[in-house]
Structure 1
Amino acid sequence: MPQIDYYFAPISPFCYLAGDRLEAIAAKHGATIRYIPLNAPALFPRTGGQVLADRHDSRKTYRIQELRRWSARLGLKLDLQPAHFPVNPAPASYAIIAAAKVGGGDLGGLVQAFPRAVWAEGRNIAEDEVVQEILAAHGFDPKIADKYMLMAAETYMANLEEAVARGVFGVPFYMVGEERLWGQDRLDDLDLYLSGKL
């Protein structure tokens, strides 16, 4: 059974645009998904990139156009100037890590819900109440992140180190073994790779 290692950030608009396509691909191929939230702003400068605020205006302009095009193409609502961005991604990441440890709920749905909250629902995912509501909506104890705070914080830091060591440089990033695919626009390639066609 293949395993897809999914490196992502719950504040990324491109992770939001991925929707549930990863889960559909995994189900099609009988693959498991290892969800690995990480601190993307900390990842970029360590792997040759820049945080959004430091990028050249031409890159910022292209990013906005790309988001507009992809949201239209996928039929997903996306606020190009969300009310709560940038926002601290750690609380949502801790919640996802704790939920993955305990299990019992809809982990894929939980992972999708946080970026959707930022980019389509105008919610602040750094607020405890919002995190708890999203956890509960996907079948998890709303206090789970508090119960596993230390473990989640340590895992979150370790996820960043693992990502750097494995050659991850952006999000969303998908790996099957050593096969690397960067971006939600590579999900079709992931499907083809798991089909043995790439």
Structure 2
Amino acid sequence: MSEPVFYFSLRSPYSWLAIHDLKTRYPKLLERLALKPFWEPDEELRGALGKHGEAFLYTAMSKEKHLYILTDVRRLARKRGLTIAWPHDKSPRWEVPHLAYFVAERAGKALEFIEAVKDMRWKLGRDICDPGAMEEVGCVLGLDPIELRDAHLDPQIRAEGLQALRACIRAGVFGVPFFTAGREKFWGIDRLHEFAGSVGQEAAPVEMPTAMTGSALLDHAGGCG
């Protein structure tokens, strides 16, 4: 079987929760996963996809769905003993953090980068689309801060990002978290248990908050863009 893949978005609160569940319940699986970013492309990258008849598989959510997600994520975070600081995305440029990810990946710090950025976004409520934020992450991780700050402007990294988006399209990724194991596909944090089972990975014991059942962490599809 080909290596298992976790498609994530640094924008998505459900990806944040999936990372938490992988760390606490499936740490060995997390070590095995190929981590692949998924994000809404800017006009230039979207145009490059369109030239080859490719379309990014994501549909903008309605106001009603957005409001539901605010409540749902708060509920799911509370069940995990997490608190969330909702960021305000003024003029998001998702290439800023997601193309910086490729710099960290080349340096062997893919997961460390994801951890730093998700904490910045979901624990501190910071704007991760600010290039200065990526510069800070570079300093924390011991990477070139300028390279991370300017990754979204680098033609070579943008070309790498374009290929990554094409890979998402080929894999049929329409939202995150999204997991694949060979031809099997799993969308949402409630499918993490099934995904893990498909690759022979059992959940590690985890201490649940009071009054929670063993299945309480797996009660919602938990998928979005």
Q: TM-score, normalised by structure 1?
A: 0.79
The answer to whether the 8 A contact 1:84-1:122 is kept is no
Give the structure 2 partner of residue 131 of structure 1: 134
What is the root-mean-square deviation in Å for CA atoms of aligned residues? 3.0
The answer to whether the 8 A contact 1:172-1:184 is kept is yes
Alpha-carbon displacement from aligned partner over 1:11-64 (angstroms, at most 9, x marks no partner): 111111223433567652585332221224789x843x5213xx152x233222
The answer to whether the 8 A contact 1:95-1:135 is kept is no
The answer to whether the 8 A contact 2:7-2:36 is kept is yes
Relative to total residues, which structure has the larger helix share, 1 or 2? 1
Q: Separation in 2 of the partners of 1:195 and 1:40?
A: 32
Q: Who wins on radius of gyration, i.e. which is larger?
A: 2
Q: Separation in 2 of the partners of 1:41 and 1:181?
A: 23
The answer to whether the 8 A contact 2:4-2:199 is kept is no
Alpha-carbon displacement from aligned partner over 1:90-111 (angstroms, at most 9, x marks no partner): 11111111111232x3x21211
User: Which of 167, 173, 176 is matched with 1:168 structurally?
Assistant: 173
Q: Separation in 1 of the partners of 2:136 and 2:72?
A: 31
Alpha-carbon displacement from aligned partner over 1:150-182 (angstroms, at most 9, x marks no partner): 222112222222111111110111112222111
Q: TM-score, normalised by structure 2?
A: 0.70
Q: CA, structure 1 residues 178+124, in 2 after alignment: closer, same or farther (shift >3 Å)?
A: same
Alpha-carbon displacement from aligned partner over 1:97-149 (angstroms, at most 9, x marks no partner): 1111232x3x2121132233222212111222210211332342323334792
The answer to whether the 8 A contact 1:7-1:36 is kept is yes
Give the structure 1 partner of residue 60 of structure 2: 51
Which contiguous aligned blocks of 4+ residues in structure 1 show a shift greater than 4 angstroms? 23-27
Unaligned runs of 5+ in 1: none
User: Which of 76, 84, 91 is matched with 1:78 structurally?
Assistant: 84
Mapping of residues 33-182 of structure 1, within 5 Å: 33-40=33-40, 46-47=56-57, 49-52=58-61, 55=62, 57=64, 59-80=65-86, 82-84=87-89, 87-103=92-108, 105=109, 107-145=110-148, 146=150, 149-182=154-187
The answer to whether the 8 A contact 1:13-1:67 is kept is yes
Q: Separation in 2 of the partners of 1:36 and 1:8?
A: 6
Give the structure 2 partner of residue 192 of structure 1: 197
The answer to whether the 8 A contact 1:12-1:115 is kept is no
Give the 3-state SS of the residue equivalent to 2:11 in structure 1: coil
The alignment of Structure 1 onto Structure 2 pairs a total of residues equal to 189
Amino acid at match of 1:98: V
